[in-house]
Amino acid sequence: MFRVYFTRNIVVVFFKILTCLLIPRSFENNILVIIICKKASQRIRVTMRLRNLIPTEAKLHLNKAAILPHLTYCHLVWHFCRASHTRKLERVQERGLCAVFRDKLSRYQQQLVKASLPTLYNRRLQDVYFNV
């Protein structure tokens, strides 16, 4: 759908429709988080459409296999970016868990316990600890 090339001062994003977007290097993390959220949200929408057809356990496996890798892709690189990016990614994961459990009333922490997942922030901290 798109390709991202990093140069010294500019990030170049080529889209499928023969358009090109030149982004200053200082906005690089913003664009990466936006792209990650967009890709994960597309997969969450598919899960929401199929929420009545697929059992909860299968939706949880789909969430862990198709959505979570997008949210944890290169997360050590942009771990030290803005808090708003972290909140945005956590909201995407929260939306995915709401689609899995079909429960909008329970809190995010309760859904994480049901799915036996850590928050994305804690997962990044674990990976920083193990990779350093």
**Residue 6, SS3?**
strand
- The pLDDT of residue 31 is above 90: no
Radius of gyration of the chain (CA): 16
**Residue 89, SS3?**
helix
| pTM for the structure as a whole | 0.73
- The pLDDT of residue 6 is above 50: yes
> pLDDT tens, 45-54?
998 998 889 9
Buried b / exposed e along 17-29 (16+ C-beta atoms within 10 A): eeeeeeeeeeebb
Looking at residue 1, its pLDDT comes to 53
The rounded mean pLDDT for the chain is 79
- The pLDDT of residue 20 is above 50: no
Looking at residue 18, its pLDDT comes to 45
Specify whether the CB–CB gap between 14 and 20 falls below 8 A. Answer: yes
> pLDDT tens, 79-103?
667 788 889 889 999 999 999 998 8
Distance CA 27, CA 19 (A): 19
Least confident of 12-21, 68-77, 116-125: 12-21
Give the model's confidence band at 21: pLDDT under 50 very low, under 70 low, under 90 confident, else very high.
Answer: very low
Mean pLDDT of 63-74: 86
